[in-house]
Amino acid sequence: MHLHFSPLSKISLWIGFLKLFLGQLFRNEAPANTALTLIQKIRLSALLKNLGNPIGDR
């Protein structure tokens, strides 16, 4: 995948994946975080949709 993302969007994308992964790990122990996990999934999908747009869209 050789798309040219800014370093910030790469970092935030990795953070989003890490949060999602950790959210899956600790979901059973922390049911109160379900809303937070849902928000993170929405933000992640929005981020992926933004990354799919042409670069000049900012």
Q: Residue 26 has which token pair?
A: 């600790």
The predicted pLDDT at position 54 comes to 57
Element (H, E) at 51: helix 34-52
The predicted pLDDT at position 44 comes to 85
Tell me if 40 sits within 8 A of 16, measured CB to CB: yes
The predicted pLDDT at position 5 comes to 64
The predicted pLDDT at position 6 comes to 77
The predicted pLDDT at position 16 comes to 85
Please identify every stretch of the chain with a pLDDT value under 70, giving residue numbers as ranges. Answer: 1-5, 25-33, 35, 53-58
pTM over 0.75: no
Domain ranges (residues) in the chain: 13-52
